[in-house]
Structure 1
Amino acid sequence: METQAHYYPIRNVAEITGVNPVTLRAWERRYGLLQPHRTDSGHRLYSDDDIRLIQQVTTLLNEGQSISQVVRSLKQGAPEAAGIREDNADIWETHRARMLEAIGRFDERTLEQAYQEILGLYPIDTVNTLLIRPLLQHLGNCWKQSDTGIAQEHFFTAYLRKKLGARLHHSNLQSHGPRLILCSPSGEHHELGMLLFAVTAVSHGLRLVMLGPDMPLSELTAVADATAAEGVILSMSTRPSKKVVEQELPALIGALDIPLFIGGQYAVTHARELAAAGAVPVGTDALPALRSIRAGLHSGT
């Protein structure tokens, strides 16, 4: 008996793959990479094969290839070309240089143009990994080399907060997946890493109750009850205070009846202790962390 094909609207495909609808349409129009079915009203419908192709493309992109090289390798029947870079200058270096120039001139219009162009062709998690995080690291390391180094870092982080916050707000309202609380404990003030993760998480279908940095852990059980959350995610990029480690975190683990996931550098350096205490350390990389979170939700860890 012939198996009936399954088709998915573009919103569902975006949640499954993490590639937003604007990018999926661009891949179709510019590169002929996808040829979705159309309903009588013109809406796109994607097959399981389309989804597998999109996932293959995102894997190659995350390895550093440009979208044009991915398209060429797939059309030539050579997906094994993963990891091969363009013969010319690294496309991500080119984009980073363009954005750094705009940041150095405090030129938000040019910065916005460069950012939106790249977002139109690449998934948000690829952009965050290969463009935004290296830019933040560069600005953080090189601020002493310019009379306006600190101002440049502040300018870019303020810009990113606006862009990521707006994207997160819009995508979160559209999501229909599991609801989780996301915050950092008291004394943790680093917000950008949490925002970068949050944008990737909602692009993959999670719904987040964003509480932000410097959150007293003692209130999270009540928030979980009020929101019917299915899990809590703590972002811990720096070592927390002794009070958080010895009092607040154990009390939270004991009080919650839903999984507690912990990401950030502290989850890497103290993974064994956190797991022994009953939390689920998920590390610093967004996509593996999301896989661990979904597995933890499924198992009821």
Structure 2
Amino acid sequence: MASEIQLFAIREVSEMTGVNPVTLRAWQRRYGLIKPQRTEKGHRLYTREDIDRIQSILSWLEKGVAISKVRPLLDGGMEVPAAQDEQSEWVEPMLSALSECRRAKLEQLLTQLMKEYPLSMFIEKVVEPVDKQVKDPANPLGAIQKSLWQSAVVEHCASLIAKSRKRGGKKALLLSFEPAQDGMTHTIWLAALAMSHEGDNVTILENLPFHGKLHGLEAAVSQQVFEKVVVIGESKLPQAILKQLARLQAECQCPVQLQGSIAVIHAGWQKPQTGVQNDGE
């Protein structure tokens, strides 16, 4: 007797592939790239073949192929294209909208790209090159573009995070002691969005004082019953803050993770008695 086909819920598939449910639904509805089965209540169920197909989609996207051009490649009806120009495909429309101060167009592009591409890929192939362009000292429109880009990304992330809070999830606190000296604070919001995709109910505290003890942190974590604390940053943290984070975990039974360059900078600092976890691997 043939064994039953193993089926996976959309949340399981998201965890296995790193593609959030919103993107999986967009690939199905708009492009017909995957065709999951349905339960009687309408919930999507995916087979192993579906998961393999998702991995193939990711492979093509990594090569710079636009999501709208992936289906013929999957179905074998189109020759493998030459190396794609990711700058023109994904970045140039965004830069054009920024140059022309077209906020509506910028929001439209953000909505489309953040829905149709995994967040990590969106950050690598869109956010990072756009950041580089708007921060270029030779860019005469840099100040205006940076301000518009910053506000658009933050507002879009905040909207998506607010929607995710309705689903509940594990309460998490995301901290940043990084000074916003270059005006590019959207990094923490993108990190918070990534956490929300993983099922966390995220509270963000950014631009925290860099020197001295952060008063009230232990009380806030304890009273709000946060289940984890994530600290994101690129600059070395003072010892006072590191010691407070260690006490936080020890006294509140709340795991602390370091993310970004600080996970590498303070890798040697981690000791068993501190209890602070390193999320840099």
TM range (shorter): 0.7 to 0.9
2:277 paired residue number = 280
- Equivalent residue in structure 1 for 2:255, among 244, 255, 259: 259
**1:182 partner SS:** strand
Q: Residue 27 in 1 paired to residue 19 in 2?
A: no
1:155 paired residue number = 148
Q: Indicate the larger mover: 214-223 or 100-109.
A: 214-223
Contact persistence 2:86–2:125 (CA under 8 A) = no
2:164 paired residue number = 171
Q: Residue 237 in 1 paired to residue 234 in 2?
A: yes
2:199 paired residue number = 205
Report the CA distance shift for 1:250/1:259 in structure 2 as closer, same or farther (over 3 A): closer
RMSD: 3.4
Q: Give the letter for the 2:263 counterpart.
A: A
Q: Give the letter for the 1:149 counterpart.
A: G
Contact persistence 2:106–2:152 (CA under 8 A) = no
Q: Residue 90 in 1 paired to residue 85 in 2?
A: yes
Normalized per residue, the structure richer in helix is 1
Q: Residue 270 in 1 paired to residue 281 in 2?
A: no
Report the CA distance shift for 1:87/1:29 in structure 2 as closer, same or farther (over 3 A): same
Q: Indicate the larger mover: 233-242 or 215-224.
A: 215-224
Q: Give the letter for the 1:116 counterpart.
A: T
1:102 paired residue number = 97
Distance 1:75 1:275 in 2: 52
**1:145 partner SS:** coil
Distance 2:228 2:63 in 1: 30
Residues 7-65 of structure 1, C-alpha deviations (whole Å, 9 max, x = no match): 45545644664434443233224443211112345443333543454345335534544
Structure 1 gap segments, 5+ residues each: 78-83, 284-291, 293-301
Distance 1:3 1:219 in 2: 57
Report the CA distance shift for 1:144/1:15 in structure 2 as closer, same or farther (over 3 A): same
Contact persistence 2:246–2:276 (CA under 8 A) = no
Distance 1:188 1:207 in 2: 24
**1:194 partner SS:** helix
Contact persistence 1:161–1:192 (CA under 8 A) = yes
TM-score normalised according to structure 1 size: 0.75
**1:255 partner SS:** helix
Q: Residue 193 in 1 paired to residue 187 in 2?
A: yes
Distance 1:29 1:89 in 2: 25
Contact persistence 1:18–1:200 (CA under 8 A) = no
- Equivalent residue in structure 2 for 1:131, among 105, 114, 126: 126
Structure 2 gap segments, 5+ residues each: none
Q: Give the letter for the 2:156 counterpart.
A: K
Q: Give the letter for the 1:156 counterpart.
A: W
Distance 2:84 2:63 in 1: 16
